[in-house]
Amino acid sequence: MSQNTYVHPSWNKDTHPQAVIAWALAKYDSELIMTSGFNLNGVVLIDMAVNAGFRGKVLFVDTGYHFRETLDTRDALTEQFPELEFISLSANQADDAMYLEDTDKCCYLRKVIPLQEKLKELAPKALLSARSQDQSDTRKDLRFIELAEPQSKVNPLVYWNRERLEHYAKEHKLPINPLYWDGFLSIGCGPCTRAVRPGEHSRAGRWAGTGKTECGLWTSKGL
């Protein structure tokens, strides 16, 4: 997958995410869609995108292992933002115990493939992503725009930390997954997610003890 970073001449670390979203809407229009797991970053991005004029699709992969709280958050967002089209994708069939034996394969079958198939069908030019640099070491070099085929990635929140995101969510009364306030700073599938301990980065609770920090959606084998 070829990929290059685009640097807008007037952007810097203080550029507001909505300015980046507005740029993406002007460039890609209806060919811009969003993927989300409805974590803190994702919920903030949804609100900002709507405020910037986004009226497109939000894709969510229901792996069959999500916490009830995650699905409730999805439903609350669907009700709060009727101008968006929330699409839940069903996971491919996989061995129920696969996550115990091969987390990479489990993520690939249950998350990556369903999303890849939907993106192939929709063929958007760009994806709105809620990733930020402070989430993990694998994301520390992210920039606002990643030009790539088949989809470019737009990362409006790349320079925002958790404190700014929390403040925004509270100020705008957004429906944040209640598990977040219990220390689940990044929430994925139930069997592979734990609360984050003091001093750990926000994705340390994902696949803890395995050395894995990415499900594969945003790696070379994913999107």
| Residue 13 burial (CB count, 10 A) | 9
Give yes or no for a contact between 204 and 197, defined as CB atoms under 8 angstroms apart.
yes
Q: Residue 120: which residues within 8 A CB-CB, separation 6 or more?
A: none
- Report the DSSP beta bridge partners of residue 3: 148
Give yes or no for a contact between 134 and 121, defined as CB atoms under 8 angstroms apart.
no
What gap in Å lies between CA 199 and CA 217, rounded to an integer?
26
Give yes or no for a contact between 154 and 161, defined as CB atoms under 8 angstroms apart.
no
**Residues 107, 189, 192, 215: which is the catalytic one?**
215
Q: Which CATH architecture has domain 3-192?
A: 3-Layer(aba) Sandwich (3.40)
- One digit per residue, pLDDT tens: the chain, 223 residues? 445 777 788 899 999 999 999 999 999 999 999 999 999 999 999 999 999 999 999 999 999 999 999 999 999 999 999 999 999 999 766 667 777 778 888 888 889 999 999 999 999 999 999 999 987 777 888 999 999 988 999 999 999 999 999 999 999 999 999 999 999 999 999 988 989 988 887 878 876 666 665 565 655 555 5
Token digits for 173? 């009364």
pTM of the model: 0.89
Give yes or no for a contact between 220 and 1, defined as CB atoms under 8 angstroms apart.
yes
What gap in Å lies between CA 157 and CA 145, rounded to an integer?
11
Active site residue 215: yes
